[in-house]
Structure 1
Amino acid sequence: MSILTPTRRGFVGGLIAAPFLLPAASRAQVGFADYPFTLGVAAGDALSDGFVIWTRLAPDPMAPHGGMPMAAVPVDWEVAEDDGFRNVVAKGSEKAWPELAHSVHVEVSGLKPGRPYWYRFRCAGERSFAGRATTLPAPGAKVDRVRFAAVGCQHFEAGLYTCFRHAAEDAPDFMFHYGDYIYEYSPGYVLDAFDRPIAPVRRYATREPFSLDDYRVRYAQTTMDADLQAARAAAPWYCTYDDHEVQNNWAGQWAQDGTPPQEFLLRRRAALQAWYEHMPVRRASFPDAEGAVHFRKRVDFGDLVRLHMPNTRLYRSDQPCGDGFKPMCPGAHAKGQQMIDTAQEDWLDQGFASSNQRWQGLAQQVMMAPIDRRTAAYPAPEPTYNMDSWAGYPDQRDRLFAMFGRHKGGNVVVITGDEHQNWAMDLQHQGRTVASEFVSTSMSSGGDGHDVRPGNEQIMQDNPFLHWTNDRRGYVLSEITPEAWTGHFRVVDSVRQPGAPIRTAARWAVESGRPGLISA
């Protein structure tokens, strides 16, 4: 069997259309005065028998509490086997609680494996538009193709979300969001790839967020975007967070700006609660007593691919060498220096060892390849690395590379975000290629970019395991078959002008049983 993929119908032609509105008297009965589903709908964390469906009631998204009364409000939901909702197979009612910004996370189960479903919500006589989600294949089922888009790094002020509309139209089976759904920067703080100011395309309405209410407004303004809503409704998402959901380059309990941990953890608690409130994730990702949102996810797509999704922020040691782009220092090899905790490292090892799938995918947040960042414009006498990437945690990275090399089936591909560039690279351990890495560029962060970032010619020369790089906005569309894992690097030339067309800048593939990238 193959996983059924959505058609392009609806996401251009009206799935996200003007909402069906009933008289204001219906809304007044529960105390809000406008349409409550302004933030759309989403699905995520799919399993073979169901998925999470999400919405948040916010009749006035930018107002305190989203314009909602300070009371729990019932929300009805339904899931159907057809887009006309003639065959409803699951339905119920959930409370939208003010403590969670009136967000709703319904864990739907009891569905058939490997097929599409449609879902929607109702509240106070109003109806949301419909979203579409696909369940995973039955465990061990024969699967001949999986397609997914890696998306993230979506600074609202830096560009329009045209790429999200295109990702929806590409009809993937699911999307992996690698983080940076919001940016915590103050309004107007928009930089290009060289940290030079560029004019904002649009502006945040509020200051840099610190409180829970601040972060909720930042999420609401971001999620009001129609192109983003189209992508969230098109396919189930698997969501992680990276740094900008809290503060740039935070690590564990450590803030970038030197805020003491006791104070920083108050900010982290608020930020991660807001992330949970706005993502289609399961109760397992509910903030704990300390406000931390733990996750590690693993999903199997039949006999074809096992996808591992670790958390590379919450358990991380402080970046070594003073963070930034630096030569390697002894602190990078300090005992206990870690990107992920020991429990996750063991979990990954067990997951690789127990897998019978043809492919292993590691979908995570920051680059694994140890790229030497020196360029002609920024020369240095010795190799220079990004200390906020796996390059700053070399001992644990090498243990993971050894794990890749031990995997009985080989065929390991890493999917990464964060860098605001596309990269296609091989990962090498003790002189041999043990995996390949596709780094997906940003959806908007950094502005329009370049076909080749100035200075990257030197990086290409100094890093022989690097096959290709590109500096446009977009996403990597992975297409996985038993024969190959192909990365389609999908880009637009501008995120400053509406409606920019999408194109494939390059295709790189790994053939099953033959480590190393080839041009496709």
Structure 2
Amino acid sequence: MDRRSFLAAAGAGLLLPAPLTGTRPASSSRTLRADPFTLGVASGDPGTDGFVLWTRLAPDPLGGAGLGGMPSRDADVDWQVSADERFSKIVKSGTVPARARGAHSVHVEVSGLEPGRDYFYRFRSEGRLSPHGRTRTTPGERVETPLAFAVAACAHYEHGYYTAYRRLAEQEPDLVVFLGDYMYEYGPSGYTALAGRVRTHTPGTCVTLADYRLRHAQYKSDHDLQAAHAAAPWLVAFDDHEVENNWAGPVSSSGAPSFARRRAAAFRAYYENMPLRRATLRGAGLNLNRRVSWGSLARFHLLDTRQFRDDQACDDGVRGGCDDRLSTDRTLLGAGQWRWLEDGLRGSGARWNLLGQQILMTHRDFRRGPGREVNLDSWDGYAPERTRLLESLSRTANPVVLTGDAHMHHLADLKTDFDDPDSPVVARELVATSIASDGDGYRDRTWIAESLAENPHISYIDQRRGYIMARLTRDDLSVDFRTLDRISRRGAPARTSHRVTIPATPGT
């Protein structure tokens, strides 16, 4: 079986691995009647000598008030890392507890491996074996190894099938950068005006810890999503729907009471269901702004554009004539994250600097003709801080901004003054359309042409579903905007609808 066939089968849970060797049996002699690995496996946050391995035991994903049908006891989970996909060269192994209080999730922080190479991993618990996954370590700090990575975001379960995840997995990236809205908090048909409903959410809007655990389990049960996780390590960050639409710092967009409790529940469920390091946990919050280097070739700076922001100006939404958005006192990143980012950009010796963040950074005028309307939930609602950030990027080696949220592909030039045609371009922004949110999408060529004319710094827009596939070398960044014609039915192919090559700046 070739690697692509292997990964597709492993992601779908179709391979039965050989018995684990070199680890002790799970401590309990009791076994479950059903497979506890229904949510698949995942890896993330790679480093030069290791990565995080994740799974969560859930023989009945939608049962047991968010506990996945597991008994109310801890369970031992054996894990293995192999240098080959047949698991004949075991390089690391161990046993960890899946705690009942953590919804039987497992986060193994593996270290002591070789830099810049593929590894394969699997788990065993309760007498059952998990699917395999493929992951990799990052290159050594002075190595310029080329990088193939995917960018994805926004996967509303009700709006369609996750075919885009399957197509992404088939391209075998070295890394997947996921930029928010991994799951949606709405109850059934809570947000289907644009897309209709292809599948149905678990009952109720997510408010409690049990609600969020159930919703994550429903999403993770999808085999196409499992295939994408099994294909490569992920760097993940949340946006708004992992908690509540358009929340801002401590502020609920709906004015719901007890938002602090709801947010804490959402954060906990997010950690339990993502391949994140323990250092991510920070009291009732999550520390998601972090850096990952790919040798000396690239440094990823992942931002958190939700947890530290001021409330949106002028009652949020798409508005015109909102002067409050221009206040220099308003912040999107927060003072601490701003200092962290400035230090990281200033101290980066990488050839390329990639900012992974959630919301449209480029200015986008939604009104065609005279006047202006902007999305106040995006960087347009925090314009002075955006100018400061772009000024910092102008002093940074080969900056590229990676973005989600918009449900449309965008390719944009970022400038410190978007109203001045002669303002120099300081970075490019690559905006990934959604995996599923807003359904099949469409190609309204008239609307696209008018939008591009209104925003000349934006050169490409596509409203269909898909993801970005990119290849980075010392000399350039080659970008394929991948799209699917439909997700309301399974099986659509992915095609490159637009391609661009961004050359490195000479002398950097």
Deviation at 1:514, TM superposition (A): 7.1
Deviation at 1:9, TM superposition (A): 3.5
Deviation at 1:110, TM superposition (A): 0.2
TM-aligned CA distance change 1:328 to 1:368, over 3 Å:
farther
Structure 2 CA distance for aligned equivalents of residues 61 and 27 of structure 1: 23
Structure 2 CA distance for aligned equivalents of residues 7 and 306 of structure 1: 28
8 Å CA contact 1:453–1:471 kept in 2: the answer is no
Instruction: Give the match for residue 52 of structure 1.
Output: 52
Instruction: Give the match for residue 69 of structure 2.
Output: 67
For residue 305 of structure 1, what is the amino acid of its counterpart? A
Structure 1 CA distance for aligned equivalents of residues 338 and 11 of structure 2: 42
8 Å CA contact 2:7–2:231 kept in 1: the answer is yes
Deviation at 1:500, TM superposition (A): 0.3
Structure 2 CA distance for aligned equivalents of residues 477 and 142 of structure 1: 19
Counterpart of 1:467 (choices 459, 467, 472) is 459
For residue 402 of structure 2, what is the amino acid of its counterpart? I
SS of equivalent residue, structure 1 residue 476: strand
Deviation digits for residues 439-464 of structure 1 (CA, Å, limit 9, x no counterpart) = 00000000111134662322211111
Structure 1 residue 441 corresponds to structure 2 residue 433: yes
For residue 7 of structure 2, what is the amino acid of its counterpart? F
8 Å CA contact 2:11–2:231 kept in 1: the answer is no
The 5 Å alignment of 1:101-250 reads 101-143=103-145, 145-191=146-192, 196-250=193-247
Instruction: Give the match for residue 279 of structure 2.
Output: 284
Structure 1 residue 392 corresponds to structure 2 residue 385: no
Structure 1 CA distance for aligned equivalents of residues 60 and 394 of structure 2: 52
TM-aligned CA distance change 1:508 to 1:435, over 3 Å:
same
Unaligned runs of 5+ in 1: 1-5, 516-520
Deviation at 1:484, TM superposition (A): 1.2
Structure 1 residue 12 corresponds to structure 2 residue 5: no
For residue 232 of structure 1, what is the amino acid of its counterpart? H
Structure 1 CA distance for aligned equivalents of residues 304 and 11 of structure 2: 33
What is the TM-score with the length of structure 1 in the denominator? 0.91
Structure 1 CA distance for aligned equivalents of residues 479 and 344 of structure 2: 23
Instruction: Give the match for residue 420 of structure 2.
Output: none
For residue 284 of structure 1, what is the amino acid of its counterpart? A
Structure 2 CA distance for aligned equivalents of residues 40 and 14 of structure 1: 9
Range that drifts further, 271-280 or 345-354: 345-354
Structure 2 CA distance for aligned equivalents of residues 198 and 167 of structure 1: 22
For residue 172 of structure 1, what is the amino acid of its counterpart? P
8 Å CA contact 2:77–2:97 kept in 1: the answer is yes
TM-aligned CA distance change 1:258 to 1:88, over 3 Å:
same
Unaligned runs of 5+ in 2: 19-25, 418-422
Structure 1 residue 256 corresponds to structure 2 residue 253: yes
8 Å CA contact 2:141–2:295 kept in 1: the answer is yes
Aligned residues: 492
8 Å CA contact 1:443–1:475 kept in 2: the answer is yes
Structure 1 CA distance for aligned equivalents of residues 433 and 11 of structure 2: 27
Structure 2 CA distance for aligned equivalents of residues 505 and 232 of structure 1: 24
The 5 Å alignment of 1:326-405 reads 326-375=319-368, 381-405=370-394
SS of equivalent residue, structure 1 residue 267: helix
8 Å CA contact 1:316–1:341 kept in 2: the answer is yes
Structure 1 CA distance for aligned equivalents of residues 130 and 8 of structure 2: 17
TM-aligned CA distance change 1:17 to 1:27, over 3 Å:
farther
Instruction: Give the match for residue 395 of structure 2.
Output: 406
SS of equivalent residue, structure 1 residue 322: coil
Structure 2 CA distance for aligned equivalents of residues 189 and 454 of structure 1: 30
Deviation at 1:486, TM superposition (A): 2.0
Deviation at 1:27, TM superposition (A): 12
Deviation digits for residues 377-429 of structure 1 (CA, Å, limit 9, x no counterpart) = xx6x521111010110011100000001122x3x1110000000000000012
8 Å CA contact 2:32–2:126 kept in 1: the answer is no
SS of equivalent residue, structure 2 residue 344: helix
Deviation digits for residues 325-379 of structure 1 (CA, Å, limit 9, x no counterpart) = 112423213353111011211222221211222111101100100111113xxx6
The 5 Å alignment of 1:486-497 reads 486-497=478-489
SS of equivalent residue, structure 1 residue 66: coil
Counterpart of 2:262 (choices 267, 279, 300) is 267
Structure 1 CA distance for aligned equivalents of residues 11 and 254 of structure 2: 43
Structure 2 CA distance for aligned equivalents of residues 32 and 268 of structure 1: 33
Deviation digits for residues 39-89 of structure 1 (CA, Å, limit 9, x no counterpart) = 000000000000000000001111111111111111000100000111101
Structure 2 CA distance for aligned equivalents of residues 447 and 472 of structure 1: 8
Structure 1 residue 301 corresponds to structure 2 residue 300: no
Deviation digits for residues 199-235 of structure 1 (CA, Å, limit 9, x no counterpart) = 3111113211110001111010110000000001100
Structure 2 CA distance for aligned equivalents of residues 276 and 43 of structure 1: 13
SS of equivalent residue, structure 1 residue 8: helix
Instruction: Give the match for residue 3 of structure 1.
Output: none
SS of equivalent residue, structure 1 residue 216: helix
8 Å CA contact 2:7–2:134 kept in 1: the answer is no
What RMSD, in angstroms, separates the aligned Cα atoms of the two structures?
A: 2.0
8 Å CA contact 1:473–1:493 kept in 2: the answer is yes
Structure 2 CA distance for aligned equivalents of residues 461 and 403 of structure 1: 28
Structure 1 CA distance for aligned equivalents of residues 47 and 372 of structure 2: 44
Instruction: Give the match for residue 23 of structure 2.
Output: none
Structure 2 CA distance for aligned equivalents of residues 303 and 293 of structure 1: 28
Structure 1 CA distance for aligned equivalents of residues 182 and 331 of structure 2: 24
SS of equivalent residue, structure 2 residue 481: strand
Deviation at 1:182, TM superposition (A): 0.8
Instruction: Give the match for residue 308 of structure 2.
Output: 315
Range that drifts further, 182-191 or 8-17: 8-17
TM-aligned CA distance change 1:333 to 1:219, over 3 Å:
same
TM-aligned CA distance change 1:315 to 1:373, over 3 Å:
same
Range that drifts further, 450-459 or 425-434: 450-459
Counterpart of 1:450 (choices 428, 442, 452) is 442
For residue 160 of structure 1, what is the amino acid of its counterpart? Y
Instruction: Give the match for residue 469 of structure 2.
Output: 477
SS of equivalent residue, structure 2 residue 263: helix
Instruction: Give the match for residue 36 of structure 1.
Output: 36
Deviation at 1:20, TM superposition (A): 4.2
Structure 1 CA distance for aligned equivalents of residues 3 and 504 of structure 2: 28
Structure 2 CA distance for aligned equivalents of residues 124 and 164 of structure 1: 29
Deviation digits for residues 274-325 of structure 1 (CA, Å, limit 9, x no counterpart) = 1100000000112x33x21122111111121111001111001101121111
Give identity over the alignment, percent: 41
For residue 8 of structure 1, what is the amino acid of its counterpart? R
8 Å CA contact 1:10–1:16 kept in 2: the answer is no
Structure 1 residue 419 corresponds to structure 2 residue 406: yes
